Amino acid sequence: MLFGEARGRPFFVATMSFTNDKRLELLREFYAITATFKYREVMALSRALKLHPRTIDRWKYGETFPRWDTALDVIAWAKAGKPMTLVHQRDKHGFTML
């Protein structure tokens, strides 16, 4: 018996495959992308997300995982070609992070 009770009305259970876990796919994609990060990309993300560079390194080496929305943003940034803006020291005070 599936649920321990054989009496009563029959019921339906959705038939679906649980082998294709979307969260696992997201984890794999995120770690595959972050594993390729170079120093410049780590620092650019650190500044844009206002996180310590070691936090990005922890993602890179698979030690931690960010919030889901941050992970999706990082994946989208990487798929967009990892765009970065060059900011000179004299201009950094007027530069606003998006």
Q: How many domains does the chain have?
A: 1
Total-model pTM: 0.71
The answer to the question of residue 63 being in a domain is yes
The answer to the question of residue 50 being in a domain is yes
The pLDDT assigned to 2 comes to: 56
The answer to the question of residue 1 being in a domain is no
pLDDT for 5 beyond 90: no
The answer to the question of residue 36 being in a domain is yes
CB proximity list for 92: less than 8 A, separation 6 or greater: none
The pLDDT assigned to 14 comes to: 81
Rounded Cα distance, 58 and 89, in Å:
28
pLDDT in tens, 24-61: 899 999 999 999 999 999 999 999 999 999 999 999 99
The answer to the question of residue 96 being in a domain is no
The pLDDT assigned to 16 comes to: 72
The answer to the question of residue 42 being in a domain is yes
Q: Tell me which residue range forms the domain holding 45.
A: 23-91
The answer to the question of residue 29 being in a domain is yes
The answer to the question of residue 3 being in a domain is no
